[in-house]
Chains A and B, each alone.
Chain A
Amino acid sequence: MGKTRKAGLAGLLLALFSFAASEKALASLQIDAGAMYASAWTWTSDNSMARHSGFEANMNMRWLFFSKSVTNPSDAPVLPSLFFSAGIHLQFLDMGASNWLADGSRYRAWNALGMGPEAGMGMELPGILQGRRQTVFLAIAPIANFSKYTDTTLYNAYWSGFLRLSWEAEFANHWAVGISLPVEIAGRSDGTSVIAGIGVGLSYAF
């Protein structure tokens, strides 16, 4: 297990190194904020799954590492340049109580403030919308969540894993809007919650 992890880490470092060494890397700082209507599905080993509704708001600050810029022959189509990213993900989640299960129980409402390091990779797409920059981006993050059962004085904490596919389109210099499809899996108490939805966001690239 340990060897596999080490090999995986070494491979990732090698890929990043090769990426940086093979071309002249350029870095850019990006900040984005977004919100989504979200659903969560909770279950425990002894109880059925039920659905919550709620919302999530998030903010991310990340460095984007691009390959070098190349001027293409005028008659050639332009293809995406890859980029990698590393940054910080911050989110707030508020979920209502779930629907009722047949046995007369439901899962409690909860809210959580989460933060974690985010890593990602994406593609900058050639201008399809009037020459404006577009990106497709995949990010992952382990998140430590500070949580509370709504309407109680009970606080708790849990880890979750986060995966997000997003698409952004530049609409003005530095500014872009996007939609995202996040999925988060959380190990809460003796159960599990999966949170998913569709989000909208706004980003600024320095």
Chain B
Amino acid sequence: MKVTGSLRASSWLRSPAWWAALLGAAILALLLAGCELFPSNASALSEKKYAIVIGINDYIDPGINDLNYCVADANSISTMLASAGWTVKLITAQSNESINKYATKSKLKAAFDNVPQDAQTFLFYYSGHGDGGYLPEEAYIIPSDYNGNFNTIISSEELSGWLAGISANNKVVILDSCFSGGFVQAPDSLDAVPGNYTKGNKSSPLEMFLRFGELLSRNWEARVSGPNDPSALLVISAAGWDEYSYEKTDIGHGLFTYYLLDAASSENGKMKGDADGDNVLTCLEAYNYASQKIDRSSVWNNGSSTDFFPHISGGLRDFALIDKRGN
């Protein structure tokens, strides 16, 4: 349908100035859309990075099964981080822990207390026993001197308190332990993968869409949560809140840590997990690489296949794990 205007033309509409203004607005939008308003990031980031890396094979209580490859996990993660410019505090319990007491709860707490105040990015890596499976947001990591008393274990709440005492702007927690998904919070999101995952039971996008009201509500809660910055902490877990994680003899590592290390290894001059090829392996890229590898592999436990799926916390931000720019 065509409609003809009924009013008389005013001079401004026919004036070149009007059209010039429209053209100018278009050019401005193009500039906003296409120009780099921020400096390019061709060189490596120079922020101060500090990591506490824990691996516990030997538990003092003889009632707790010792593990085989957690120290190997910690050593390899420590090497990986140190080679990428991180300052690493490595704590391992290989053997004779009843005498050495290297990885007791008090030693781990002391390590947190001694994190440099000027560190901009802090990382806590843990490989060892975990406990949980009771409630989605309730999980524990187990120091070497755990004796069955609740005050000798480290709960998700307690770890949050330790982390709150660290002044770094970016905090990363990576846990390769059973039930570690209980440490992962996504206050602004819902995870399509349940904490007791079996292959194929991820929620579909449609199923997630049907929870739209709940998603909006979570976003609102994240917005009004006050001075706590939910984006400041990024947590990656090897398993869901109701799942075991596994170590494997043939690879000499925990499965999750093995793929995390694999993500940082080079192939054709590029880190395998560096999805966007910018020579920076981010936490999210490493997580994504490891979780896809784990989902495609089968872990056999007592003759049956056991599924588990890593999880990552929500929030807007992602952090550099390995930065090889400028190398």
Q: Which listed residue (B14, B121, B218, B219) contacts A77, Cβ 8 A?
A: B14
Q: Decide: B212 and A146 in contact? CB cutoff 8 A.
A: yes
A79 contacts B317, C-beta separation under 8 Å:
no
Task: From the candidates B9, B34, B209, name the one contacting A78 in the complex (CB within 8 A).
Answer: B9
A188 to B, closest residue via Cβ: B316
Segment at the A interface, from B173-181, B182-190, B259-267: B182-190
The answer to whether the Cβ of A21 comes within 8 Å of any Cβ in the partner chain is: no
* A171 beta carbon closer than 8 Å to chain B: no
- Contact residue among A68, A100, A148, A197 (Cβ-Cβ distance under 8 Å from B33): A197
Cα separation A133 to B312 with both chains bound (whole Å): 53
Return the contact of B314 from the options A37, A149, A159 (Cβ within 8 A).
Answer: A149
Contact B5 A78 (CB under 8 A): yes
Q: Which residue of A has the minimal Cβ distance to B275?
A: A151
Is the beta-carbon distance between B6 and A68 smaller than 8 angstroms? yes
List, in ascending order, chain B residues with CB within 8 A of A108's CB: 284, 315-318
- The 8 A CB mask of B1-35 against A (1 = contact, 0 = none) is 11111111110011000000010011001101110
Are B316's CB and A44's CB within 8 A?
yes
The residue among B49, B189, B288 with the most chain A CB atoms within 10 A of its own CB is B189
Chain B residues in 8 Å Cβ range of A46: 169, 229, 231-232
Given contacts A146-B209, A187-B223, contact A165 B316 (CB under 8 A): no
**With A37-B33, A149-B314, A198-B30 as given contacts, are A154 and B41 in contact (CB-CB < 8 Å)?**
no
Q: How many residues of B contact A (CB 8 A)?
A: 74
Q: Tell whether B130 is near chain A: CB-to-CB under 8 Å.
A: no
Q: Are A149 and B189 in contact (CB under 8 A)?
A: yes
Residues facing A in B310-324 (CB within 8 A) are 312, 314-320, 323
B5 and A81 within 8 A (CB): yes
Is B250 located at the chain interface by the 8 A CB criterion? no
User: Nearest chain A CB to B137's CB is how many angstroms away?
Assistant: 16
CA–CA, A38 to B34, complex, Å? Answer: 8
Whole-angstrom CA separation of A153 from B3 in the bound complex: 50
Known: A37-B34, A103-B170. A79 touches B7 (CB 8 A): yes
Q: In the complex, what distance in Å separates the CA atom of A109 from the CA atom of B173?
A: 20
Q: Say yes or no: A80 contacts B276, CB within 8 Å.
A: no
- What is the CA–CA distance of A125 and B218 in the complex, to the nearest angstrom? 46
Residues of A in contact with B (beta carbons under 8 Å apart): 23, 26, 28, 36-39, 42, 44-47, 49-51, 66-72, 76-81, 83, 96-97, 99-100, 102-108, 124-126, 133, 136, 144, 146, 148-149, 151-159, 165, 167, 179, 181, 187-191, 196-198, 205-206
Task: Show 12 A/B contacts (Cβ-Cβ < 8 Å), sorted by A.
Answer: A46-B229, A68-B6, A77-B9, A79-B6, A79-B10, A102-B46, A103-B45, A106-B282, A108-B284, A156-B189, A198-B29, A205-B1
